Amino acid sequence: MPEMDTEERRIQIAELLLRLRQVGITDQKVLSAIEAVPRDVFVEAETRGEAYAERALPIDCGQTISAPVVVGMMTAALDLEPEDRVLEVGTGSGYQAAVLAKLCSRVYTIDRFRTLVGTAESRFKTLRLDNISTLVGDGMEGWAEHAPFDKIIITAAGDAVPEVLFEQLRTNGILVAPIGPPEGIQELKRYVRTEAGIDESTLADVRFVPLIRGVAERL
Ligand code: SAH
């Protein structure tokens, strides 16, 4: 796996931080977390040169790593606190989980593909990210053993947030998810679970791979 040159990486990350600021992501903690995670480590060797480009890139199992600005927006929307425990549905490359891990106490991340979870785990190990727990499973069922979570992030698109995920979110917790049809324009939604119910707001139009029930048969 040819690594990206350190100097090249430094330049690419500096440009990425500039882009994030331009779209209004100015939270210094979020920017520092993104600065600290080498995105090139999370993409396939064939696309390594484009690792920092402003687009989603293909990864194994027909999935994608989200575009950098989308990762920035979703991370910022979670208003992470250092003591937060966060559930991620959709490990994919592991990049989003790595960014979250820099900002909270523990990330619990689930993917339905064993291959993706295995590759992500080895990346976490290489980068010495030891506050990420992984699971091969159906994230639409959440991770009851570790609930309630302070924050939940879903990185695949569905018609609605599975009710059980709101149940696994603590009161005043935040959930961020792309909602909409598989092939169409989806909306990035931010939900806050209040005493009274769920408050909802829309952040942006996005495109994600679909949220699919069950563990993948082709692992
Ligand atoms: N957050 C990832 C991008 C994820 S792409 C990153 O930073 O790279 C969406 C991922 O969601 C895919 O890997 C897909 O396998 C996974 N996924 C879809 N439905 C799922 C489900 N029900 N449970 C767990 N993972 C799911």
Structural domain total, the chain = 1
In a domain, 50, yes or no: no
**For residue 219, what pLDDT is reported?**
64
Helix (H) or strand (E) holding 136: strand 132-136
For atom 18 of ligand 1, the residue with the nearest CA is 211
Q: How far from chain centre, in Å, is Cα 67?
A: 10
**pLDDT single digits (tens) 78-123:** 999 999 999 999 999 999 999 999 999 999 999 999 999 999 999 9
Question: Is residue 20 domain-resident?
Answer: no
With the most atoms of ligand 1 within 8 angstroms of its CB, the residue from 212, 213, 215, 219 to mutate is 212
Q: What is the pLDDT of residue 217?
A: 81
156 located within any domain:
yes
| Burial group, residue 83, by CB count within 10 angstroms (0-12, 13-18, 19+) | exposed
In a domain, 178, yes or no: yes
Over the stretch 38-91, which tens digit does the pLDDT of each residue have?
Answer: 999 999 999 999 999 999 999 999 999 999 999 999 999 999 999 999 999 999
Mutate to test the pocket of ligand 1, among 89, 115, 164, 186 (most ligand atoms within 8 A of CB): 89
Residue nearest to atom 11 of ligand 1 (CA): 90
The amino acid present at 73, given as its one-letter code, is M
DSSP letter (8 states) at residue 27: -
pLDDT in tens, 118-148: 999 999 999 999 999 999 999 999 999 999 9
Domain containing residue 154: CATH number: 3.40.50.150
pTM of the model: 0.97
68 upstream amide cis, omega within 30 of 0: no
Res 2: pLDDT: 64
In a domain, 24, yes or no: no
Angstrom distance (rounded) from CA 154 to CA 132: 16
How remote is the CA of residue 199 from the centroid of ligand 1, in Å? 25
Domain assignment of residue 75, yes or no: yes
Is 157 domain-assigned?
Answer: yes
Residue range of the domain that includes 80: 56-206
Which residues are CB-neighbours of 36 under 8 A, at least 6 positions away? Answer: 102
CA 205, 117, 62, 95 torsion-angle sign: positive
SS3 state of residue 116: helix
Q: Whose CA is nearest to atom 4 of ligand 1?
A: 92
Determine, yes or no, domain membership for 92: yes
